């Protein structure tokens, strides 16, 4: 079962190469952080705020390619957690088919943020991560 989540916070620290995004359960209280890189955090922040760049950055480029091919990002699913690493997939509707593309959660969220793409986490992953001590 997939649980709908919202991007709750983007925590950008100039003192660290590792940044944090926090996902919050849409109809509940569970939340958890994902450590991401500085570039991904800035990309997510820019896309959420609608900041335009002079030339398309990687996430805008990929969004443009999907759109040019008449595809649509249906959802982002964080489906696994192994060795403290999250695994996600982009679910893209293209020519009547649903394609599942392996992605890092940070890249998937950066790509989907501008279009308000729904984010889901598998229930078992959400249970596992919210039961870890000292996460938030």
Which residues are 23's β-sheet partners? 7, 32
Regarding pTM above 0.85, the answer is: yes
CB 63, CB 112: distance < 8 Å: no
d(CA 3, CA 28): 10
Q: Residue 133: what pLDDT? A: 67
Q: What is the average per-residue pLDDT within 99-126? A: 94
Q: How many beta carbons lie within 10 A of that of residue 99, not counting itself? A: 14
Phi, psi of 118 (to 5 degrees): -65, 140
Q: Residue 109: what pLDDT? A: 96
CB 80, CB 70: distance < 8 Å: no
Residue 136 has pLDDT above 60, yes or no: no
Q: What crossing angle do the helices spanning 58-68 and 38-49 adopt, rounded to 10°?
A: 60
């Amino acid at each position: 079962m997939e649980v709908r989540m919202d991007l709750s916070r983007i925590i950008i620290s100039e003192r660290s190469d590792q940044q944090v995004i926090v996902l919050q359960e849409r109809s509940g209280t569970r939340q958890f952080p994902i450590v991401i890189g500085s570039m991904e955090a800035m990309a997510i922040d820019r896309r959420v705020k609608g900041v335009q760049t002079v030339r398309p950055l990687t996430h805008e480029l990929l969004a443009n390619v999907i759109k040019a091919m008449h595809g649509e990002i249906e959802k982002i699913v964080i489906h696994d957690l192994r060795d403290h690493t999250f695994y996600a997939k982009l679910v893209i509707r293209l020519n009547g088919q649903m394609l599942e593309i392996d992605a890092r959660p940070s890249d998937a969220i950066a790509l989907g943020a501008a279009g308000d793409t729904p984010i889901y986490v598998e229930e078992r992953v959400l249970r596992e991560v919210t039961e870890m001590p000292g996460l938030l």
